[in-house]
Structure 1
Amino acid sequence: MRGYNLRLPLDLLVVASANPEDYTNRGRIITPLKDRFGAEIRTHYPLLLDDEIDLIRQEANVQAVIPDHMYDVVARFTTEVRTSSSIDQRSGVSARFAIACTEALSGAALRRAAITGEKDPVARIGDLMGVVPTLRGKVEFDVSEEGREQELLIHLARKATAETWRQLLGGNDIRPVLTSLVEWFDEGNTLQTGDVTPGASLLGELGQFEGLGKLMQTVEPELAESSGLAAACVEFAIEGLWLTRRIDKDAVDGVIRYGAS
């Protein structure tokens, strides 16, 4: 100032984050700044599924009940998106994708509760397909996939659902329960659900299903039983039966109907 050099002993620490690559194709953001920082910390996405789930639980702001199997599906869905060749790997898929997906699931469950009067909103697997369109802005797709973004995300979400289903319901001990479900549909019964179908209504269509307790114990052994959680377990089991081509499914205007194949 006015010809005098002033040196102020500022006790400051500057930390900057960097995307894998910026969106103007000028290269990595950190490169022109690297010589100005004392250190560069390289991070990576969670390598283990449990770590991904822990991160989602820690960061997602949810008001509805998100069952454990839904956390598993979201984590697998995120991994599928990250490893897909149709996604621009230079831009990456951050943890915000999984967090946004979980918060959207919570919002879908809260919306259903507000419409139907349910006291304890619980996210279900059917909610996932409804929130997929909201995630398109979280991902940079390869230019060859233009126009197919939503179709691709739905495919990856179904793939993740099938993986979780096989993990939880692929054992021999639960097979009789699933077989009885398939037989119930083979008898000409149908089950209708949707984004505004209350859990009690879904369970009422199924009737006195003897294997419900076993199903809930297998899918959600840690959570307290409720009609909303029971409906989530049933919907998850039935969706998996459709994904493994053991029953049929029709979806029209947000209404999903399962029946015999």
Structure 2
Amino acid sequence: MTAPTIATVGALRASGHVQRSIKEELRENLLGYLRDGKDAWPGILGFENTVIPQLERALLAEHDVVLLGERGQGKTRLLRTLVGLLDEWTPVITGSELGEHPYDPITPASIRRAGELGDDLPITWRHRSDRYSEKLATPDTSVADLVGDVDPVKVAEGRSLGDPETIHFGLVPRTHRGIVAINELPDLAERIQVSLLNVMEERDIQIRGYTIRLPLDVLLVASANPEDYTNRGRIITPLKDRFGAEIRTHYPLLLDDEIAVIEQEATLTATVPGHLLEILARFTRLLRESASVDQRSGVSARFAVAAAETVGAAAVHRAAVLGEADPVARPVDVGTIVDVLRGKVEFESGEEGRETEILTHLLRRATADTARERLGGIDMSSIVNAVEQGEPVVTGDRITAKALLDELPDLPVLDEIAERLGAKSDGERASAAELALEGLYLARRIAKDTGDDGQTVYS
């Protein structure tokens, strides 16, 4: 994070520094990552063989890019990762409003200073994190916000309206030599989108009644929802034509990627074993395949993340009430997500009133699939016999892990289940045993009753 010490343009030239445009900089740095076999996209999961190669080709072709995809597919995260491809530090003219390169001043004030000071023109260094600007395209966004407008204060100081120095620059020119990201681009009013046409093609800006010729050097990237892209809002045809690449994003294609996203993004306040994260990942994927869910809206990855955090919070709640030292989530906690997160899923109009029923059914399918996948090959008939011949097993959000383990019969198969699931502590062993019991119930080998007091009885 230490900036270079070069302080004048003369010293910069003597150092051999070479000026590059923003797109050349991204292109050459990306090529360096590819040659060295380094990961240029940290934190981006599930796009390795689909979206990432397309985006890399677009950057190598020096194209502006728009990402199309449903909500919660990581579009914004991917755009922000582009910052890592910039040089860590870049020189700018000290005090310049647009962060101009010392070799190439573009505003009248900077051109005048460069001519007066020559090699003594002072420079400072800007970190790459300051070269990325992001704008959410809200309906109230104006041309002044993006491009600029006449500054009445500067006019009041005595300058004429035709003087370029009366301009207050907007977001795009202020990100000169950087990356401008516009989220939800179709939400921009069409007349506002028109203001970007010259920025993307001619690389200049037009304000009010006169043109200011500023050779802007920016990479324009944007995100859009395909449904908005075609119906509610749209990208106007001339602007769409100026994007060199349109790339479709998607939800994770593999279950392991879905789980990895949850592990990476969720802030868990308790231990949530891997088999529970798998249930949540399978549940999310089943929702995305269900005909009862509006797939045009999609089921965001944030749904699965929020579900994992809710399950962890349920374990913390139980631990606080019952005095458990180390909260560990169990399958009984998974049911808490249905009511809490129902509003995060858009259902088809014909399913009104059946939302809870649909969610509960799909959650049971996800649990059964996980139990079958994780515990397949283990003979659990001894558990079935023990439950049939002995006392029922009682669990619930008011039963501690130790109390649940004390109720279970002493069977070698329980140790095998715990070993299969990597369960070591009492909480993890209780969670593993509960998954086995729930799997047996869903396979219709034992019965299950849930009372109003929150207790679940397997018998």
Normalised by the size of structure 1, how large is the TM-score?
0.89
- Does 2:451 correspond to 1:252? yes
Give 1:30 deviation, angstroms.
5.3
* Structure 1 residues 51 and 187, CA gap change in structure 2 (3 angstroms): same
What is the alpha-carbon distance in structure 1 between the residues aligned to residue 254 and residue 413 of structure 2?
32
What is the identity percentage for the equivalent residue pairs of Structure 1 and Structure 2?
A: 50
1:36 to 1:94, Cα distance in 2 relative to 1, 3 A = farther
Q: Could you say what the CA RMSD is over the residues aligned between the two structures, in angstroms? A: 2.1
Whole-angstrom distance in 2 between the partners of 1:89 and 1:134: 21
The answer for unaligned runs of 5 or more in structure 2 is 1-149, 151-160, 184-222
Larger relative contact order (CA 8 Å, sep ≥ 6): 1
Question: Structure 1 residue 42: deviation in Å?
Answer: 1.8
Consecutive unaligned residues of structure 1, counting only runs of 5 or more, are none
Matched AA of 1:13: I
Q: Equivalents in 2 of 1:134, 1:20: separation in Å?
A: 28
C-alpha separation in 1, matches of 2:344 and 2:256 = 22
Matched, 1:148 2:354: yes
Per the alignment, residue 13 of structure 1 pairs with 179
CA apart distance, 1:71:
1.1
- Checking the alignment, whether the CA contact within 8 Å between 1:108 and 1:127 is kept in structure 2 is yes
The structure whose residues are more often strand, as a share, is: 2
Structure 1 position 31, deviation (Å): 3.0
1:158 aligns with 2:339: no
Instruction: Tell me which protein shows more helix as a share of its residues.
Output: 1
Q: Which whole-Å CA distance do the structure 2 matches of 1:20 and 1:179 have between them?
A: 50
Q: Does 1:27 align with 2:228?
A: no
Q: Does structure 1 conserve the Cα–Cα contact (< 8 Å) formed by 2:450 and 2:456?
A: yes
Q: 1:47-93 CA deviation, whole Å, 9 max, x = no partner?
A: 00001111110000102011011111111010000000000011001
1:234 is aligned to 2:436:
no
Give the drift of 1:200.
0.4
Between 65-74 and 209-218, report the one with greater CA deviation: 209-218
Q: Please show how residues 107-118 of structure 1 align to structure 2 within 5 Å.
A: 107-118=313-324
Report the equivalent of 1:104.
310
Matches within 5 A, 1:74-153: 74-153=280-359
Given the superposition, is the C-alpha separation of residues 13 and 114 from structure 1 closer, same or farther in structure 2, using an over 3 Å criterion? Answer: same
2:374 is equivalent to residue 179 of structure 1: no
* Deviation, structure 1 residue 34: 3.8
Q: Which range is displaced more, 2-11 or 77-86?
A: 2-11
Q: CA deviation at 1:130?
A: 1.8
Give the Cα separation in 1 of the matches to 2:339 and 2:242: 40
Instruction: Find the aligned partners of 2:246 and 2:323 in 1 and give their Cα distance.
Output: 52
The equivalent of 2:264 in structure 1 is: 58
How far apart in 1 are the matches of 2:234 and 2:273?
A: 39
Q: Kindly provide the amino acid, as one letter, of the partner of residue 27 in structure 1.
A: N
**Counterpart of 2:328 in 1: which secondary structure?**
coil
Matched, 1:196 2:398: yes
2:415 is the alignment partner of 1:205 = no
Cα distance, 1:131 vs. partner? Answer: 1.8
Paired with 2:265 and 2:242, the residues of 1 have a C-alpha distance of: 31
